[in-house]
């Protein structure tokens, strides 16, 4: 009996083995053609080498290795119908077009190759008689690197005019046309300055972490985390240099035909040199980057493909002595190494325009207006533009007269030209009148101020400096914003600082316009804060586009977030939508944004109002923290009012020291974040009192947690999805650390990020509250208890009287103000260099 089974199973094994070798081995002389659907599959059919039709040009066929859903991960090249791919009898793998001419070759003729095989990791190998790999696709990548595939120093990925390499120093570089380096990211300098790498190897690990290895490094260095790193499933991860010049990490589910982008090297697609072609201008419509031409003086090279660039309708040579500079506001022509040094000049905006007009070989120029005083003159015959309302630069392009900028309203020009003489007269009279009026007012002002206040000149200079300071936001008039928001029609919500309205700028960019209330500060102070806010850029912070300060109107213009605020998803109707993976990503994103505010940006900002309402979600559910930097705008001297407003707005997220009138530090944000984190897990407001127990949710949750009942804390709606319990436990523990009553016990935000990511161990959190104060505790009684804690932990001279507490707190705000003005000084100095 036993012998028979053994015999049978060995036959089965034999059959399986034979089947595999038959499927994987490609014998000399084998041919694939575009005419029949033959392919060379890997043993378990995960990959196959075959012809696929090119998406852009269906008459061409790409000889490619594809993942099971059809996405190519390596290709030899493309040929017309009738082309072939043959492993020739001499061992050469050759792609030929229909007339038999070679298009691509592996170059392995007469090197002893006697078989080829495609393995289940996607590697095609040409092997000689003693099983030696003569040639393999993993060593000869095209535009893709698969997970676990080594990409060493010296190799190149190519896609159109773009190429990607790893330098000996470990820097990752992206180049256009083998010359212009538009991306060059080095390792953390503490690695590269002390170490000389020998042979750096870049690899996307199967857990989605892109790392760099080198023999001289004790461990791998993380370059980037895919957004879904650590998640597993039946999928393939890969890195690809896309046709648009961006390097991205992807993951794709088995059998799917679309890969999802999980990371991109160049965050802003418009920063990729040459993506929109020559004279193409990159900008954003709503959310996608789009390509267009500078003006009516240009036409698309290919009306069907705007990334092919633009050409002048009349060439400069054809209009001698009659060229002019077309003005492009909020536009920059990209300048990267190695061109920077010979294109950069120290010129004012007028000279920047005029010098280019007079220079025979100059085609365009950019006045940076970012405080640097630089002007870039473009002499090359390939220029790449970027237009965005947040760019302070103004650019000029040489065109044949007359310059014909795009008119925002297509109908209005026709209307103007058909208007009667009378109308023209009315316009002329009104315009002249207005100009005269303005001049009169200005003269009056100058007379008034110049004579009365000798300081006036100085402060207006400061305004000017601020306007041109780095990342200066766009200034809108109140009228403009009224138009943008259609008269403040569509209200998105109202926060502690005022109502928010939806709007669309002239270029169709959607924005959120916040009408600030209760701002009693002067214009100068307001502009200073706006400058600080708008110079704060991070992936997880909502970007400030511009502002308006006119009379008593104070408005801020932010980028628009499609999915609104987090509270909608946690506590209201949409709650079922967010699975655990998304919630976890939101938690980490929020923590990263706050970390940036606390630790990494130039003027450190304490948010003071972290709550789900201030965490916005973009179309991909990326978390973006909003309303940062606004706390300082509310009259900083009137301390009592500050406390009152905030308590009214966001009870439940305020740190105890805030209620106790003690100094508010970045640790207060940590407390609020901890509360939010617990809410992300539980899907309910922490300060809700539970009917069953009469306790605040956060207190009850800790007791449950201690008892090991973590599942009872979790939002029931999460059970509909897969939950990574380890992540969830980490989140719960982290949140309890954050809501410790004593600020010194709470971790810093940077540490919170590491705790969530699992990079550092999390100890068991102690109970958040020493004494269980009931939910109805008045802030007064709470404050006295905190006071005593503070006196014991850090010396605070006689802070037991609330008047003193008030004093110390307002001195903090004054210190912040000083910081802001010293940063202004720094800008002044760098501008005068």
Among 128, 260, 475, 635, binds ligand NAG (CB under 6 A): 128
On whether the CB atoms of residues 140 and 170 are closer than 8 A, the answer is no
Give the position of tokens 């010296």. Answer: 154
Residue 44 interacts with ligand NAG (CB under 6 A): yes or no: yes
Q: Of 329, 370, 336, which Cα lies nearest the Cα of 266? A: 336
Among 90, 267, 286, 638, binds ligand NAG (CB under 6 A): 286
Burial readout 551-589 (b: 16 or more C-beta within 10 A, e: otherwise) = eeebbbbbbbbebebbbbbbeeeebeebebbbbbbbbbb
Q: Any idea what DSSP says for residue 142?
A: S
Q: Which is nearer to ligand NAG, 120 or 370 (CB)?
A: 120
Q: Which is nearer to ligand NAG, 129 or 763 (CB)?
A: 129
Burial readout 667-677 (b: 16 or more C-beta within 10 A, e: otherwise) = bbbbbbbbbbb
Find the binding residues for ligand NAG in span 310-329 (CB under 6 A).
321-322
Among 19, 89, 107, 112, binds ligand NAG (CB under 6 A): 112
Among 17, 132, 415, 721, binds ligand NAG (CB under 6 A): 132
Active site residues: 609
Among 28, 156, 253, 290, binds ligand NAG (CB under 6 A): 290
Residue 57, burial from CB neighbour count under 10 angstroms (0-12, 13-18, 19+) = exposed
Residue 185 interacts with ligand NAG (CB under 6 A): yes or no: yes
Q: Smallest gap, in angstroms, from Cβ of residue 176 to ligand NAG?
A: 8
Residue 1 interacts with ligand NAG (CB under 6 A): yes or no: no
Q: Smallest gap, in angstroms, from Cβ of residue 194 to ligand NAG?
A: 10
Residue 402 interacts with ligand NAG (CB under 6 A): yes or no: yes
Residue 205 interacts with ligand NAG (CB under 6 A): yes or no: no
Q: Smallest gap, in angstroms, from Cβ of residue 664 to ligand NAG?
A: 27
Q: Which residues contact 325 (CB under 8 A, 6 or more apart)?
A: 353, 356, 357, 365, 396, 397, 398, 399, 403
Q: Which is nearer to ligand NAG, 27 or 430 (CB)?
A: 27
Residue 110 interacts with ligand NAG (CB under 6 A): yes or no: no
Give the position of tokens 């003729």. Answer: 109
Among 29, 55, 58, 129, binds ligand NAG (CB under 6 A): 129
Q: Smallest gap, in angstroms, from Cβ of residue 76 to ligand NAG?
A: 14
Q: Smallest gap, in angstroms, from Cβ of residue 285 to ligand NAG?
A: 4
Please confirm whether the linkage preceding 402 is cis (ω < 30° from 0).
yes
Residue 150 interacts with ligand NAG (CB under 6 A): yes or no: yes
Residue 36 interacts with ligand NAG (CB under 6 A): yes or no: yes
Residue 38 interacts with ligand NAG (CB under 6 A): yes or no: yes
In which element (H, E) is residue 87 found? strand 84-87
On whether the CB atoms of residues 317 and 325 are closer than 8 A, the answer is no
Q: Smallest gap, in angstroms, from Cβ of residue 495 to ligand NAG?
A: 26
Residue 257 interacts with ligand NAG (CB under 6 A): yes or no: no
On whether the CB atoms of residues 642 and 650 are closer than 8 A, the answer is no
Residue 829 interacts with ligand NAG (CB under 6 A): yes or no: no
Contact letters (x/-) for ligand NAG, 2-31, by CB under 6 A? -----------------------------x
Q: Which is nearer to ligand NAG, 593 or 765 (CB)?
A: 593
Sign of CA dihedral 311, 312, 313, 314: negative
Residue 111, burial from CB neighbour count under 10 angstroms (0-12, 13-18, 19+) = middle
Point out which span in 280-288, 353-361, 737-745, 813-821 binds ligand NAG (CB under 6 A): 280-288
Among 130, 350, 418, 420, binds ligand NAG (CB under 6 A): 130
Q: Are strands 72-80 and 31-33 parallel, antiparallel or unpaired?
A: unpaired
Point out which span in 302-310, 370-378, 756-764, 791-799 binds ligand NAG (CB under 6 A): 302-310
What whole-number distance in Å separates Cα of residue 121 and Cα of residue 138? 10
What whole-number distance in Å separates Cα of residue 640 and Cα of residue 628? 21
Q: Of 394, 629, 390, which Cα lies nearest the Cα of 511? A: 390
Sign of CA dihedral 793, 798, 803, 806: negative
Q: Which is nearer to ligand NAG, 299 or 725 (CB)?
A: 299
Among 20, 23, 46, 550, binds ligand NAG (CB under 6 A): 46
Q: Any idea what DSSP says for residue 435?
A: H
Q: Which is nearer to ligand NAG, 190 or 418 (CB)?
A: 190
Burial readout 617-632 (b: 16 or more C-beta within 10 A, e: otherwise) = bbeebbbbbbbbbbbb
Q: Which residues contact 52 (CB under 8 A, 6 or more apart)?
A: 61, 62, 64, 66, 70, 72
Total residues at interface with ligand NAG (CB under 6 A): 42
How many CB atoms within 10 Å of residue 737? 22
- φ, ψ at 284 (rounded to 5°): -115, 130
Q: Which is nearer to ligand NAG, 564 or 766 (CB)?
A: 564
The answer on whether 514 is annotated among ligand-binding residues is yes
On whether the CB atoms of residues 309 and 278 are closer than 8 A, the answer is yes
Residue 99 interacts with ligand NAG (CB under 6 A): yes or no: yes
Residue 779 interacts with ligand NAG (CB under 6 A): yes or no: no
Q: Smallest gap, in angstroms, from Cβ of residue 113 to ligand NAG?
A: 9
Q: Which is nearer to ligand NAG, 132 or 406 (CB)?
A: 132
Residue 401 interacts with ligand NAG (CB under 6 A): yes or no: yes
Among 268, 302, 315, 599, binds ligand NAG (CB under 6 A): 302
Q: Which is nearer to ligand NAG, 233 or 411 (CB)?
A: 233
Residue 620 interacts with ligand NAG (CB under 6 A): yes or no: no
Residue 467 interacts with ligand NAG (CB under 6 A): yes or no: no
Q: How does DSSP assign 719-747, residue by residue?
A: GGS---HHHHHHHHHHHHHHT-SSGGGSP
Give the position of tokens 């081995």. Answer: 25
Q: Smallest gap, in angstroms, from Cβ of residue 527 to ligand NAG?
A: 31
Find the binding residues for ligand NAG in span 163-182 (CB under 6 A).
167, 169, 171, 177, 179
Q: Which is nearer to ligand NAG, 130 or 792 (CB)?
A: 130
Q: Distance between terminal CA atoms of the chain?
A: 94
Q: Any idea what DSSP says for residue 541?
A: B
Q: Of 107, 108, 99, which Cα lies nearest the Cα of 79? A: 99
Q: Smallest gap, in angstroms, from Cβ of residue 286 to ligand NAG?
A: 4
On whether the CB atoms of residues 83 and 97 are closer than 8 A, the answer is yes
Q: Smallest gap, in angstroms, from Cβ of residue 628 to ligand NAG?
A: 21
Assigned token pair, 649: 């707005």
Q: Smallest gap, in angstroms, from Cβ of residue 233 to ligand NAG?
A: 11
Q: Which is nearer to ligand NAG, 4 or 409 (CB)?
A: 409
Residue 97 interacts with ligand NAG (CB under 6 A): yes or no: yes
On whether the CB atoms of residues 244 and 308 are closer than 8 A, the answer is no
Task: Return the axis-axis angle of helices 749-757 and 580-595, rounded to nearest 10°.
Answer: 150
Among 101, 409, 422, 778, binds ligand NAG (CB under 6 A): 101
Residue 288 interacts with ligand NAG (CB under 6 A): yes or no: yes
Among 53, 81, 165, 184, binds ligand NAG (CB under 6 A): 184
Residue 419 interacts with ligand NAG (CB under 6 A): yes or no: no
Binding residues for ligand NAG (CB under 6 A):
31, 33, 36, 38, 44, 46, 80, 97-99, 101, 112, 120, 128-130, 132, 150, 167, 169, 171, 177, 179, 184-186, 188, 190, 201, 213, 285-286, 288, 290, 302-304, 321-322, 382, 401-402
Binding site for ATP, residues?
514
Which residues are annotated binding-site positions?
Answer: 514
């Amino acid at each position: 009996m036993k012998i028979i089974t053994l015999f049978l199973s060995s036959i089965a094994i034999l059959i399986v083995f034979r089947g595999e070798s038959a499927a994987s081995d490609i014998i000399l002389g084998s041919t694939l053609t575009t005419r029949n659907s033959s392919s060379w599959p890997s043993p378990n059919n995960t990959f196959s080498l075959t012809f696929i039709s090119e998406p852009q040009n269906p008459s061409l066929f790409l000889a490619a290795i594809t993942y099971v859903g059809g996405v190519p991960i390596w290709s030899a090249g493309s040929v017309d119908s009738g082309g072939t791919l043959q492993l020739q009898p001499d061992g050469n793998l050759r792609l030929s077009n229909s007339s038999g001419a070679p298009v691509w070759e592996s170059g392995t003729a007469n090197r002893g190759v006697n078989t080829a095989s495609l393995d289940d990791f996607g590697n095609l190998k040409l092997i000689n008689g003693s099983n030696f790999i003569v040639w393999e696709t993993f060593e000869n990548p095209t535009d893709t690197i698969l997970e676990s595939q080594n990409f060493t120093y010296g190799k190149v990925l190519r896609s159109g005019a773009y190429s990607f390499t790893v330098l000996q120093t470990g820097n990752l570089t992206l180049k256009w046309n083998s010359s212009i380096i538009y991306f060059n990211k080095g390792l953390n300098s503490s690695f590269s300055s002390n170490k000389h790498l020998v042979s750096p190897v870049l690899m996307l690990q199967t857990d989605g972490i892109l790392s760099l290895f080198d023999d001289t490094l004790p461990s791998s260095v993380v370059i980037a985390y895919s957004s879904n790193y650590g998640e597993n499933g039946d999928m393939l991860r890969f890195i690809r240099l896309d046709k648009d010049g961006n390097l991205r990490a992807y993951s794709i589910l088995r059998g799917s035909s679309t890969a999802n982008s999980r990371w991109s090297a160049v965050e802003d697609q418009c920063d990729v040199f040459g993506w929109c072609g020559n004279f193409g201008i990159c900008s954003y419509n709503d959310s996608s980057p789009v390509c267009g031409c500078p003006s009516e003086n240009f036409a698309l090279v290919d009306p069907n493909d705007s990334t092919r660039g633009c050409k002048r309708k009349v060439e400069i040579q054809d209009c001698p002595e009659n060229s002019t500079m077309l003005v492009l506001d909020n536009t920059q022509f990209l300048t990267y190494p190695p061109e920077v040094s010979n294109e950069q000049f120290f010129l004012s905006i007028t000279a920047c325009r005029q010098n280019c007009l007079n220079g025979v070989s100059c085609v365009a120029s950019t006045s940076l207006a970012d405080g640097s005083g630089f002007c870039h003159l473009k002499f090359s015959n390939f220029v790449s533009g970027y237009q965005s309302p947040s760019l302070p630069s103004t650019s000029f392009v040489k065109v044949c007269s007359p310059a014909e900028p795009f008119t925002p309203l297509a109908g209005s020009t026709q209307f103007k030209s058909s208007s009667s003489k009378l109308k023209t007269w009315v316009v002329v009279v009104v315009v002249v009148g207005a100009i005269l009026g303005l001049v009169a007012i200005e003269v009056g002002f100058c007379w008034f101020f110049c004579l009365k206040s000798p300081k006036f000149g100085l402060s207006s200079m400061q305004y000017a400096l601020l306007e041109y300071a780095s990342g200066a936001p766009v200034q809108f008039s109140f009228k403009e914003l009224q138009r943008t928001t259609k008269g403040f029609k569509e209200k998105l919500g109202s926060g502690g600082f005022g109502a928010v309205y939806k709007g669309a700028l002239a270029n169709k960019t959607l924005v959120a316009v916040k009408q600030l209330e209760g701002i009693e500060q002067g214009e100068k102070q307001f502009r200073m804060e706006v400058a600080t806010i708008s110079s704060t850029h991070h992936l997880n912070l909502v970007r400030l586009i511009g502002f308006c300060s006119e009379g008593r109107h104070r408005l801020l213009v932010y980028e628009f977030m499609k999915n609104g605020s987090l509270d909608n998803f946690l506590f209201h109707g949409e709650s079922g939508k967010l699975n655990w993976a998304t919630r976890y990503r939101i938690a980490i994103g929020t923590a990263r944004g706050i970390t940036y505010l606390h630790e990494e940006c130039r003027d450190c900002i304490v948010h003071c109002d972290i709550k789900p309402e201030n965490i916005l979600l973009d179309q991909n559910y990326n978390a973006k923290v909003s309303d940062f930097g606004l706390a300082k705008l509310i009259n900083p001297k009137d301390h009592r009012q500050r406390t009152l407003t905030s308590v009214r707005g966001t009870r439940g997220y305020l740190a105890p020291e805030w209620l106790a009138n003690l100094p508010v530090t970045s640790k207060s944000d940590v407390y609020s974040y901890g509360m939010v984190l617990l809410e992300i897990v539980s899907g309910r407001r922490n300060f809700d009192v539970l009917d069953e127990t009469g306790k605040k949710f956060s207190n009850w949750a800790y007791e449950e947690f201690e008892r090991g009942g973590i599942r009872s804390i979790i939002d029931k709606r999460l059970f509909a999805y897969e939950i990574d319990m380890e992540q969830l436990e980490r989140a719960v523990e982290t949140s309890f650390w954050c809501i410790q009553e004593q600020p010194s016990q709470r971790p810093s935000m940077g540490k919170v990020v590491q705790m969530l990511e699992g990079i550092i161990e999390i100890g068991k959190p102690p109970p958040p509250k020493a004494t269980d104060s009931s939910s109805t505790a008045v802030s007064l009684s709470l404050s006295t208890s905190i006071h005593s804690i503070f006196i014991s932990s850090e010396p605070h001279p006689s802070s037991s009287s609330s008047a003193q507490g008030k004093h110390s707190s307002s001195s903090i705000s004054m210190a912040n103000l000083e910081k802001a003005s010293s940063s202004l000084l720094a800008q002044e100095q760098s501008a005068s260099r």
